[in-house]
């Protein structure tokens, strides 16, 4: 059974570990199968590409590689500070994310 991932596409996150530790960036994609995320400008790798119709020159292209979600922490939209995430049922009976720091619901 896979764990529920605490971040979503479009969230701003803080990188907690690795070469890009301390960097704040936006999540571009979530890969639930491996519990990884692709984050804008984080974990860049060089890809050697052959010339094709889209890129007639070919060459070396910098691209974001996936980073594990345990190395990411959500930045609360209201305060701009990193926070842990909890889940609770709201008044409509829907499961929502909330900030453990302030207790506010995160959209």
User: Average pLDDT of 3-30?
Assistant: 94
Task: With a cut of 90, say whether residue 84 has pLDDT above it.
Answer: yes
Beta strands in the chain (DSSP E): 12-15, 24-31, 36-39, 44-49, 59-64, 67-68, 72-74, 85-89, 95-99, 105-106
Please write the tens of the pLDDT for every residue from 27-36.
Answer: 999 999 999 9
pLDDT at 8: 95
Phi, psi angle pair for 85, to nearest 5°: -115, 140
Q: Which structural domains are found in the chain, ordered by start?
A: 12-75 (2.30.30.30)
Q: What is the pTM of this model?
A: 0.84
Q: How far apart are CA 17 and CA 40, in angstroms?
A: 16
Q: How far apart are CA 49 and CA 12, in angstroms?
A: 30
Task: With a cut of 80, say whether residue 2 has pLDDT above it.
Answer: no
| Mean model confidence pLDDT for the chain | 93
């Amino acid at each position: 059974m896979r764990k529920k991932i605490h971040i979503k596409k479009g969230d701003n996150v803080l990188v907690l570990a690795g070469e890009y530790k301390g960097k704040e960036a936006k999540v571009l994609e979530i890969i639930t199968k491996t519990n990884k995320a692709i984050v804008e400008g984080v974990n860049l790798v060089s890809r050697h590409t052959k010339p094709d119709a889209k890129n007639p020159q070919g060459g070396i292209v910098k691209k974001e590689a996936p980073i594990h979600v345990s190395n990411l922490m959500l930045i609360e939209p209201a305060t701009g500070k990193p926070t842990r995430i909890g889940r609770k049922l709201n008044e409509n009976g829907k499961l929502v994310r909330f900030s453990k720091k302030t207790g506010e619901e995160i959209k």
